[in-house]
């Protein structure tokens, strides 16, 4: 009788140890908690430079696209010097889309994380992108072009690895032309308990000679409540010359 | 450090952030405002619009002959609240003093640098999220 009791106790202990090991393994593999609001992090004096964002790599377009791009950038710079800035789509409150929505001026983003989906809400223009974690990516030709395209992701050693396709050609990063073959890859990961990096790579076999890469940095904003942003009082308009003007009121 | 100098540094910092980082986007260029000129307007608020993409102060400014109406652009509510503003800070009839960068076109419009409210508070206009300039 005593022998059976001892055996049962040993078995129970063994089971407990197994469960503890499994729980520990699960904890080690568990994705980090990214839920909440995140503000742009710029580093600054005294900050660890490894935590700061990195500038974009040089934009190297295929020769057939480079000339027109350079000419347009020069015209934009000259117009700005004249005080007559050329409009971009956001002047008309058109959303930025992926990837530009990830860093609009000083506006925060909010991450909502579930086992099957990570949702990112940008405060500026209330943009929303959804990253599916439980399904494969589609073929590029099967995704209707849009502002946010189709994003799928998975966790890899604590990093959320995201693949995005299906961005419409008018939705451009820094007004760089792209084709329907553009692919955006991201590695979103904590580099410190409250500092998040989004390492972005833009590839396009049609327009880009080299991928564009840059890293955005965010700081956790634990108590921040996202501010609504509905663009219902846009007084900027674009005149016949494509110049941004401001509507004024009489009273 | 003077308020004007702080504002200039703020503008330069924003310009650096937008140009240097190469990844940030802004709603629009501020080049339509003449950042080399500063005007001070004192008048009565006709409306304070806490709206996106920008808030506006509409203000009647007395002149030698009559009143001139000005439309003054601010940052967005999100940016303003980080600079200490509340949606209820201004109401119709409040007397305010506004330092602005005027429109290059010469029309009666501008971009706020700093507002002095009837209760004596001075509030800035971002574009950073730190304390308002002048506080």
CA distances from B17 to A86, A192, B134 (A): 20, 22, 22
CA distances to A229, A247, B50, B71, B102 from A233, rounded to whole Å, are 11, 11, 9, 13, 20
Contact by Cβ (8 Å): A48, A41: no
Alpha-carbon distance B117 to nearest alpha carbon in chain A (angstroms): 20
How many residues does this entry show for chain B? 135
Interface A-B: count of C-beta contacts within 8 A: 125
- Give mean pLDDT, residues A222-242: 91
What is this structure's pTM?
Answer: 0.83
What pairing do the DSSP bridges indicate for beta strands A195-203 and A159-165? unpaired
- CA dihedral for A158, A163, A168, A171, sign (positive or negative): positive
Report whether pLDDT(A11) > 80: no
Tokens of A1: 């009788």
Closest chain B C-alpha to A57 CA, distance in angstroms: 9
In this structure, is the dihedral angle defined by the CA atoms of residues B8, B14, B19 and B21, taken in order, positive or negative? positive
Chain B residues lying within 8 Å of A216, measured CB to CB: 23
pLDDT at A121 over 90: yes
Q: Which two tokens stand for residue A225?
A: 């409540």
SS3 content of chain A, % helix, strand, coil (to 5): 25, 30, 45
With residue B10 as reference, give the H or E element that holds it. helix B3-21
- Exposed, middle or buried by CB within 10 Å (0-12, 13-18, 19+), for B124? buried
Query: For residue range A22-71, what is the model confidence (pLDDT) as tens digits?
Result: 445 445 568 999 999 999 998 888 889 999 999 999 999 999 999 999 99
pLDDT in tens, chain B (135 residues): 454 445 444 444 444 444 334 455 566 667 889 999 999 999 999 999 999 999 999 999 999 999 999 999 999 999 999 889 999 999 999 999 999 999 999 999 999 999 999 999 999 987 543 333 322
- Cα–Cα nearest to B107, from A109, A125, A185, A83: A83
Residue A21 has pLDDT above 60, yes or no: no
pLDDT of residue A147 exceeding 90, the answer is yes
Which residues in chain A touch residue B28, judged by CB atoms under 8 angstroms apart? 85, 87-88, 90-91, 236, 244
Cβ partners under 8 Å of residue A17, min gap 6:
none
- What is d(CA B49, CA A183) in angstroms, rounded to the nearest whole number? 41
Nearest to A90 among B21, B25, B81 (CB): B25
Lowest mean pLDDT among A29-33, A158-162, A218-222, B104-108: A29-33
Query: Which of A86, A88, A106 to mutate to test binding with chain B, by most B CBs within 10 Å of its CB?
Result: A106
Best CA proximity match to B11, nearest among B100, B130, B127: B127
- Name the least confident of A45-49, A158-162, A230-234: A45-49
Identify the band that residue A159 occupies on the pLDDT scale cut at 50, 70 and 90: very high
Pairwise CB contact (< 8 Å): A250 & B69: yes
* Adjacent-strand bridge partners of A162: A153, A186
Confirm if B57 and B48 have CB atoms less than 8 A apart: yes
Dihedral sign for Cα atoms in the order A30, A36, A40, A41: negative
What DSSP character marks residue A85? Answer: P
């Amino acid at each position: 009788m005593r022998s059976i009791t001892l055996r049962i106790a040993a078995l129970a202990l063994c089971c407990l140890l197994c469960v503890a090991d499994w729980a520990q393994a699960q904890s080690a593999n568990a994705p980090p908690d990214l839920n909440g609001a995140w503000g742009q992090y710029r580093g600054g004096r005294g900050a660890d430079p490894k935590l700061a964002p990195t500038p974009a790599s040089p934009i190297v377009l295929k020769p057939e696209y480079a000339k027109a791009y350079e000419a347009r950038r020069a015209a934009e710079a000259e117009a700005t010097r004249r005080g007559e800035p050329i409009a971009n789509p956001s002047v008309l409150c058109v959303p930025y889309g992926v990837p530009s929505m990830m860093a609009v001026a000083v506006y925060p983003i909010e991450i909502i994380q579930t086992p099957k989906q990570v949702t990112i809400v940008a405060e500026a223009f209330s943009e929303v992108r959804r990253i599916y974690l439980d399904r494969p990516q589609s073929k590029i030709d099967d995704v209707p072009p849009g502002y946010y395209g189709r994003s799928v992701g998975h966790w890899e050693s604590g990093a959320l690895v995201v693949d995005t396709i299906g961005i419409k050609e008018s939705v451009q990063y820094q007004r760089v032309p792209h084709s329907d073959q553009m692919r955006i890859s991201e590695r979103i990961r904590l580099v410190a308990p409250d500092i998040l990096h989004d390492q972005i790579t833009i590839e396009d076999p049609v327009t880009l000679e080299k991928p564009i890469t840059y890293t955005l940095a965010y700081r956790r904003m634990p108590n921040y409540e996202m501010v609504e942003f509905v663009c219902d009082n846009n007084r900027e308009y674009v005149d016949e010359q494509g110049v941004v003007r401001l509507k004024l009121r009489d009273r | 450090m003077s308020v004007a100098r702080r504002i200039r540094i703020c503008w330069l910092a924003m310009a650096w952030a937008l140009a240097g980082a190469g990844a940030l986007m802004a709603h629009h260029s501020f080049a339509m405002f003449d950042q080399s000129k500063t005007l001070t307007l004192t008048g009565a608020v006709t409306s304070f619009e806490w709206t996106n993409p920008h808030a506006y102060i509409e203000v009647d400014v007395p002149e030698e002959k009559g009143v001139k109406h000005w439309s003054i652009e601010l940052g967005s509510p999100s940016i303003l609240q980080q600079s200490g503003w509340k949606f209820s800070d201004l109401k119709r009839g409040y007397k305010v003093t506004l330092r602005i960068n005027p429109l290059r076109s010469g029309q009666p419009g501008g971009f706020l640098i700093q507002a002095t409210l009837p209760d004596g508070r001075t509030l800035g206009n971002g574009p950073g999220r730190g304390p308002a300039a002048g506080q």
